[in-house]
Amino acid sequence: MMLHHKAVKDVAVQLINVSKSFPQVYAPVLDRITFSVRHGEFCVIIGPNGSGKSTLLKIISQQLQPSQGRVFLPQSACQVVQDVEKGLIPSMTLLENVVLSRLKALKPCLKFYDRYRSEVVQDVQKLNMKLEKFIDQPLIGLSGGQKQMISTFMALNSGKELVLLDEHTSALDPVMQKMVMDYTVKCILENNMTAIMITHKLEDALLYGNRLVMLQEGRIVLDVKGDQKQALTLDQLITLFHSYQADEET
C-alpha cells in the first residue's frame, strides 16, 4: 500500500516495514525496510550489486509498488538515472526538452518555445559547458556527458523539492563526473533540496551528503549522519562493507 500524505513533520520520505519481492526470485529484494529522510537531508546509499538500492529508489519514485508496507511521500520527486535516454527525447532540441520538462501539459508550437528561449539560454549558460550553442539542435548528436548534464540540469531545475539520483554519473569520465556532481551539489544546497543518491563509489559516499546508508541483502546495515559520517575514513568504510558481506555468507 502506498499513501501520499505527510506522516511526520519535516519528513520528506518515509517507508514503514517495506518489502519487495519479484516472481521467481528466491529472497525478497527489500526485506522490511523502515527508513525516513527529513527535509534538507542529502542521503547517500551504497551497497553491493543486488542489495536493493535501485529497487528502493524505484519504490520511492513510484515506479514500483511495495509488496508490503507503507510509503509516505508528501511531494512528487524529480529523478536522474544512469541511462540518460530515459530522461530525454533525443530527437528534440535542448530547448524543447527543457521547456517540456517544465510545462509538460502544454502543446508544443514555435511561439510557445520562443517565449522561453532567452530564459533557457541564460540558465544553460550557468553550466559553463557552452551547451547553449546546441539550443536548437536535436540532442541525439550530443555526447553522453553532455546529455547527462542536461538531464541533471532539467531535474534540478524542475521546481521539485525532492531529487532522486540513481548512479547518475557512473557512466561518465572522471572530469565530466566531477562537473556533473559539482553542479548537482550546488543546486541541492542553493535550493535547500532533499536528495537521495545511489552510488557504487565508496569515495563519493564519504565526499558527498550528510547521511550515509548501506544496504545488504535488502536490509539497512549501516545508517550514519552528521559527525558520525564525517568521522568515517575510506579504510573504515571498506572494512565495514566487506564485514557485512562476510556476515551474510556465514
Q: What pLDDT shows up at residue 175? A: 87
SS3 136: coil
**Mean pLDDT of all residues in 47-56:** 92
Q: What is the pTM of this model?
A: 0.84
Positions of CATH 3.40.50.300 in the chain: 2-82+149-249
Per-residue pLDDT at 2 exceeds 50: no
Region 115-130: mean pLDDT is 81
Check residue 172 and report its DSSP letter. S
Q: Which amino acid is at 138?
A: P
152 — pLDDT class (breaks 50, 70, 90)? confident
Q: How many Cβ atoms from other residues are within 10 Å of residue 82's Cβ? A: 16
Q: If you average pLDDT over residues 214-232, what whole number do you get?
A: 94
Average pLDDT, the chain: 84
Convert the pLDDT of each residue in 157-180 to its tens digit: 888 899 999 998 887 888 888 888
Q: Rounded to the nearest 10 degrees, what angle do helices 94-102 and 117-125 cross at? A: 100
Q: Pairing relation of β-strands 42-46 and 194-198?
A: parallel
Mean pLDDT of 219-237: 94
Q: Are 28 and 19 in contact (CB under 8 A)?
A: yes
Q: Reduced to 3 states, what is the DSSP secondary structure of residue 113?
A: helix
Query: Which residues are CB-neighbours of 39 under 8 A, at least 6 positions away?
Result: 10, 11, 12, 161, 192, 194
Higher pLDDT, 188 or 137: 188
Between residues 146 and 104, the one the model is more confident about = 146
77-81 and 162-166 strand pairing: parallel
User: What does the pLDDT average to over 106-132?
Assistant: 72
Looking up cell 519487495, which residue turns up? 20
pLDDT, one tens digit per residue, over 99-118 is: 666 655 344 444 556 777 78
The position carrying cell 557512473 is: 170
Cβ–Cβ under 8 Å, residues 177 and 153: no
**CA separation for the pair 203, 163 (Å, rounded):** 21
Please, are residues 223 and 34 in contact by the beta-carbon 8 Å criterion? no
Who has greater pLDDT, 233 or 125? 233
When pLDDT is cut at 50, 70 and 90, the band that residue 199 belongs to is very high
The whole-angstrom separation of Cα 20 and Cα 64 is 9
DSSP letter at 146 equals H
The 10s digit of each residue's pLDDT in 15-44 is: 999 999 998 888 899 999 999 999 999 999
pLDDT band at 6 (very low <50, low <70, confident <90, very high): very low
Residue 31: CB atoms within 10 A of its CB come to: 17
116 phi and psi, to 5 degrees? -105, 0
CATH number of 2-82+149-249: 3.40.50.880, 1.10.10.10, 3.40.50.300, 3.30.1490.100?
3.40.50.300
CB-based contact 49:55 (threshold 8 Å): no
